[in-house]
Structure 1
Amino acid sequence: MSAPTAGGPAPPPDRVPTTVLHVDMDAFYAAVATRDDPSLQGVPVIVGGGHRGVVLSASYEARRSGVRSGIPMTRARRLCPEAEVLRPDYALYSAVSRSVLEIFGQVTPVVQPLSLDEAFLDVQGSVRLLGGPAEIGALVRARVHDEQGITCSVGAADTIGVAKVASKRAKPDGQLVVPAADVVGFLHPLPVGELWGVGDKTVAQLERLGLRTVGDVAHTPRSTVQRALGRAFGAQVHDLAWGIDDRLVAGGGGPRASQRGFPLPAGVLGSDPGPDRSVGADETFGRDTDDPQVLLRELLRLTAKVTARMRAAEVVGRTVTVKVRFADFTTITRTRTRSEPTDVTHEVYDTVRQVFAGLGLQRARVRLVGVRVENLQPRRGVTRQLVLGERPQGWAEADRAVDRAATRFGDAAVRPASLLGPGRP
């Protein structure tokens, strides 16, 4: 890689080989839902949570009509009225995901799942046996197709950030290897929103400065980017624009070590990073409800989902926000800031319950609830203050045990007992 100029940092003198793979299933939910039904082959398919929910996945035939994950089901039906709409089957998706992870584990022990349908693999220890990144990527794609009947796309690079961008550019059912010497040439012509973790809000902030491509950001002084995005996030985005990313593939220790190690970008968390990073989740009920126990159970489920993402990203947060949307579409949010940052489900949910109780809803009919944690910061360097008489091990360790079980056996493997009863939307 040639030396950067005009504000660019010097590239690492000893860039590691191109052995980080990002493997991403293609339209995963839709592909799994339709693989055993020949009548759905080549037909637009939408997987979603009912007429009041959102699109969870869309086949590429549906995407050609403008259907995308995350848009309301009502809009998706208008865009593609001929589409077959299927309800999600999470048990099936989890089973397929576990089988795919087994394939990854037979290629390398260093596997970091990001969700049911994507993972990073560090194959540095496998190249002597299996060949280079192109050969290993082709092997993974062939085995996933042969054994599970679905397709995936693979990006290979020397860092996780570039590998993530490469897999997106390879979709669908493709593969793209970006050698270390070609990283800058690959990244700089791309729109800045292609960088992993740079969402719509950040793109808008950068475009106000006239920065539209990755190269524009790279050739802008770091201090300028930091003023626009915040000191830490601005430095991260500037480094990523030059393909500099010290994060390791976290999964079994592997040969790569991170001395600086940014946490995963907030794009993984389901939110735009920006200077005030946050992670949240919400759920639209299939039928309006005024039952406080149903609402509290859903708030607990959402809290567990949010805190699991935080732990995966190695961040903690202090500010907890609860969102409630009523039957008439009126929406309110209430926020409370904790004295100490945390990623512990039990602690965040305590705050959520307090905020919810303070709303005094009195049987108001509710359409949607949501939970968000803001003021995030890296977990490293945060010291947890023990309370007098508190056990040295407890909820935090239990959460991490649940995370390990979910990674291995699926999200439904372990959950709070209160979520086993009725009331799931």
Structure 2
Amino acid sequence: MTAPTAAFSVCRDCHRIGGENRHRCAACGSPRVVAHNELGSLSLAHLDCDAFYASIEKRDDPSLAQKPVIVGGGTRGVVTTACYIARIRGVRSAMPMFKALKLCPEATVIRPNMEKYAGVGREIRQMMRDLTPLVQPVSIDEAFMDLKGTERLHGEPSSVTLTRLAARIEYEIGVSVSIGLSHNKFLAKMASDLEKPRGFSVIGRAETRDYLRAKPISAIWGVGDAMAAKLKADGLTMISQLQDMDDTDFIRRYGAMGLRLSKLAHGIDDRSVEPDGEAKSISAETTFNCDLHRADDLVPVLRRLCEKVSGRLKATDLAATGITLRLKTSDFRLRTRQRKLQDPTRLADRIFAAGRSLLEHELDGTRFRLIGIGCSGFAPAASADPDDLVDPGFAKRAKAEAALDSLRNRFGQKAIETGYTYGAPSPKSEPRRP
């Protein structure tokens, strides 16, 4: 979409922040620059995977990369999804398969593997939860996320964090996503559909009303064919008409649905992002550029990850009673080790102590390409980290950590480091590239 003259921009390839609207990134030359005058303040996003099932099948069989692919049933079934090459030929989801094959007879048809797709969906949602616990799945391949309040934790605006997430998903999972960023769920969902595939679109507060005026009522999320037909019979087809109507009269005619439509027509949506049940884990992980096996290399990375997880716990008023260490070997075998804590904790010091103990048992010469640390078994923050009579130095370390948190909140995450991480390279959250 066309944005107003922007005072803020970000490159979706190198993640460089710019101060003006550019057609190309000044650092890497990429044309994939997002510019908007509210880009630095918006934090509610909708992430939607592009042609999800077909993209996974192409990932798993590279020979299909440049071919039309349809995922669906046999000749008497329907299309579950189609890749963008097939969509150019007119193939659409829910279309009868015989009709799809008439439009695109050269397409490769693959029966759905829902177990595989669900597993990939879980991996992507975990990457989202690594950034914020406020993740609300809508389906297997899309979810809302609210990054408000995480800017200080990540050391960058939410929009930049989202461009990094999209790049990480594409490189590590092998599928692309489109992201919509706005000030509420309705508009974030609408924005994510604007530039698929690999899109990143923004709808700001200032432009909301004018942007919606030009849209048909059918663009409102939840308006199906039956409701659209009923409104059309009453002469209502454009959102601009709803904006200009008297709200009381419209609500009288259409009841609760009228109230909902009236609010959305004005861009009002006060629904919050609601995680599906209580958060099951908060974690952070990184994939190395080169496989590592020495404690001297792995321990500093583990410490940084523990500090990230601790920061996320503190940002959400949670404490954890369980610690999980994840290691992926050079041949892609996953090792998961867990430990139950005596008391709930929010402290990086305690998370690191448990994680390091688990790591030491795995240092047998095996080379690792990934390390991660996670927390689970949540309890209220008020129950966290009681005085430890067995460890007389605990109170001093807890006080020192509080001082570190205060300094980092004021000056940024990299303002001060511990002895474990000082001078050590930062772990790369981006996966290695082939």
> Which interval holds the TM-score relative to the shorter structure?
0.5 to 0.7
Decide which of 69, 72, 82 is 2:96's aligned counterpart: 72
What is the aligned partner in structure 1 of residue 201 from structure 2?
Answer: 176
Residue-by-residue CA offset, 1:326-359 (whole Å, 9 max, x unaligned): xxxxxxxxxxxxxxxxxxxxxxxxxxxxxxxxxx
What is the aligned partner in structure 1 of residue 157 from structure 2?
Answer: 132
Decide which of 192, 215, 235 is 2:217's aligned counterpart: 192
* 1: CA distance, partners of 2:124 / 2:133: 14
Q: Does 1:101 align with 2:132?
A: no
Decide which of 251, 254, 257 is 1:226's aligned counterpart: 251
The amino acid that maps onto 2:275 is G
- SS class of match (2:264): helix
Judging changes above 3 Å, is the alpha-carbon distance between structure 1 residues 210 and 31 closer, same or farther for their aligned structure 2 residues?
same
Sequence identity of aligned pairs in percent? 41
Decide which of 249, 270, 281 is 2:273's aligned counterpart: 249
* 2: CA distance, partners of 1:71 / 1:192: 24
What is the aligned partner in structure 2 of residue 37 from structure 1?
Answer: 61
Residue-by-residue CA offset, 1:342-395 (whole Å, 9 max, x unaligned): xxxxxxxxxxxxxxxxxxxxxxxxxxxxxxxxxxxxxxxxxxxxxxxxxxxxxx
What is the aligned partner in structure 2 of residue 146 from structure 1?
Answer: 171
Alignment of 1:393-404 (within 5 A): none
- SS class of match (1:95): helix
Q: Does 1:208 align with 2:221?
A: no
Residue-by-residue CA offset, 1:129-159 (whole Å, 9 max, x unaligned): 3333321221121111011111000001111
* 2: CA distance, partners of 1:50 / 1:80: 15
* 1: CA distance, partners of 2:206 / 2:152: 21
* 2: CA distance, partners of 1:200 / 1:84: 31
- SS class of match (1:145): helix
What is the aligned partner in structure 2 of residue 26 from structure 1?
Answer: 50
**Contact between 2:69 and 2:83, CA under 8 Å: does it hold in 1?**
yes
**Contact between 1:133 and 1:177, CA under 8 Å: does it hold in 2?**
no
The amino acid that maps onto 2:218 is G
What is the aligned partner in structure 1 of residue 134 from structure 2?
Answer: 110
* 2: CA distance, partners of 1:150 / 1:85: 19
Judging changes above 3 Å, is the alpha-carbon distance between structure 1 residues 181 and 250 closer, same or farther for their aligned structure 2 residues?
same
The amino acid that maps onto 1:178 is I
The amino acid that maps onto 1:36 is D
Residue-by-residue CA offset, 1:170-190 (whole Å, 9 max, x unaligned): 311110122222211222212
What is the aligned partner in structure 1 of residue 184 from structure 2?
Answer: 159
- SS class of match (1:100): helix
Judging changes above 3 Å, is the alpha-carbon distance between structure 1 residues 162 and 19 closer, same or farther for their aligned structure 2 residues?
same
Question: TM-score with structure 2 length normalisation?
Answer: 0.52
- Unmatched segments (≥5 aa) in structure 2: 1-40, 279-375, 377-434
What is the aligned partner in structure 1 of residue 80 from structure 2?
Answer: 56
Residue-by-residue CA offset, 1:96-142 (whole Å, 9 max, x unaligned): 11110111011111100111100000110212233333212211211
* 2: CA distance, partners of 1:201 / 1:42: 38
**Contact between 2:137 and 2:276, CA under 8 Å: does it hold in 1?**
no
RMSD: 2.0
User: Rg larger in 1 or in 2?
Assistant: 2
- SS class of match (2:189): helix
The amino acid that maps onto 2:255 is R
The amino acid that maps onto 1:137 is L
* 1: CA distance, partners of 2:176 / 2:211: 24
Alignment of 1:383-394 (within 5 A): none
> How many residues are aligned here?
238
Aligned-pair CA distance for 1:46: 0.5
The amino acid that maps onto 2:229 is A
- SS class of match (1:186): helix
Judging changes above 3 Å, is the alpha-carbon distance between structure 1 residues 127 and 75 closer, same or farther for their aligned structure 2 residues?
same
The amino acid that maps onto 1:159 is N
What is the aligned partner in structure 1 of residue 259 from structure 2?
Answer: 235
* 2: CA distance, partners of 1:21 / 1:135: 12
**Contact between 2:150 and 2:158, CA under 8 Å: does it hold in 1?**
no
- SS class of match (1:69): coil
Judging changes above 3 Å, is the alpha-carbon distance between structure 1 residues 252 and 200 closer, same or farther for their aligned structure 2 residues?
closer
Question: TM-score with structure 1 length normalisation?
Answer: 0.53
**Contact between 2:42 and 2:159, CA under 8 Å: does it hold in 1?**
no
Judging changes above 3 Å, is the alpha-carbon distance between structure 1 residues 108 and 210 closer, same or farther for their aligned structure 2 residues?
same
**Contact between 1:137 and 1:175, CA under 8 Å: does it hold in 2?**
no
Aligned-pair CA distance for 1:252: 7.5
**Contact between 1:109 and 1:252, CA under 8 Å: does it hold in 2?**
no
* 2: CA distance, partners of 1:132 / 1:82: 45
The amino acid that maps onto 1:33 is E
Alignment of 1:235-314 (within 5 A): 235-251=259-275
Judging changes above 3 Å, is the alpha-carbon distance between structure 1 residues 88 and 216 closer, same or farther for their aligned structure 2 residues?
same
